[in-house]
Chain A
Amino acid sequence: DQQVKQNSPSLSVQEGRISILNCDYTNSMFDYFLWYKKYPAEGPTFLISISSIKDKNEDGRFTVFLNKSAKHLSLHIVPSQPGDSAVYFCAASVLTGANNLFFGTGTRLTVIP
């Protein structure tokens, strides 16, 4: 059973506009959330994370929002750039656990120049 879900397999956005990638989770024990970015023929690379004690974390053009009551998080990229075109994975974990990450199925973002 998929505990972390990304319901949009793909997203296309014009360069300079905002990209919003969404993620839902079902396990209320999750208290740490991460976004990874993956280019073809490479491994995923860490992008940004958020603890459940926060509802927002910002790093440059990337902002992650967490809505615990809705069990939903989103990644905003502003402004989007062609180099942002990649597959984005949402992941969740339990801080007091064994550092095991539960991944979503990924969203392929295409930024159109």
Chain B
Amino acid sequence: EAQVTQNPRYLITVTGKKLTVTCSQNMNHEYMSWYRQDPGLGLRQIYYSMNVEVTDKGDVPEGYKVSRKEKRNFPLILESPSPNQTSLYFCASSLSPGLAGYEQYFGPGTRLTVT
């Protein structure tokens, strides 16, 4: 089954404790992206990757890191989480930039709470 998976689905942590949210897709997609969803703000892009070893900042990259060492994986790293990073996070992937690949496929989401 073609899918984007994220782990964990739920995470409660404390300020300053480093964490990683994993994202994996099995569709051989070139493009991957991370979003956060907050009430009244919709989905905002954190980071994206056009291909392996190519990453770039989205709208709200502060406090986050990413890496793209393999095509299928795109982990999101919070080196020192803070309460304002409490949010619902989504990973997404698409075939490639271009008309045929603009539909992004989303993972199920990771609900992160930082206390």
Contact = CB atoms under 8 A, between A and B. Distances in A.
A37 B33 CA distance: 18
Contact of B45 (A2, A89, A101): A101
A24 to B, nearest CB: 13
Interface residues of B, number: 30
Contact of B41 (A45, A98, A105): A105
A9 to B, nearest CB: 8
B109 interface: yes
B107 interface: yes
Interface of B: 4, 31, 33, 35, 40-45, 48, 50, 56, 58, 90, 92, 94, 96-99, 101-109
A93 interface: yes
Contacts of A41: 108-109
A81 to B, nearest CB: 22
A101 B44 CA distance: 9
A85 to B, nearest CB: 19
A19 interface: no
Nearest to A99: B97
Nearest to A101: B104
B51 to A, nearest CB: 11
Interface string A60-85: 00000000000000000000000000
B103 A46 contact: yes
Contact of B99 (A4, A95, A101): A95
A45 B48 contact: no
15 contacts: A6-B42, A34-B102, A41-B108, A43-B4, A43-B106, A46-B104, A46-B105, A95-B98, A98-B56, A98-B97, A99-B50, A99-B102, A100-B33, A103-B43, A106-B42
Contacts of B107: 43
A104 B42 contact: yes
A99 B102 CA distance: 6
A17 to B, nearest CB: 26
Which 10 pairs from chain A and chain B are nearest by CB? A43-B106, A99-B97, A105-B42, A103-B43, A46-B103, A103-B42, A44-B106, A43-B108, A99-B31, A43-B107
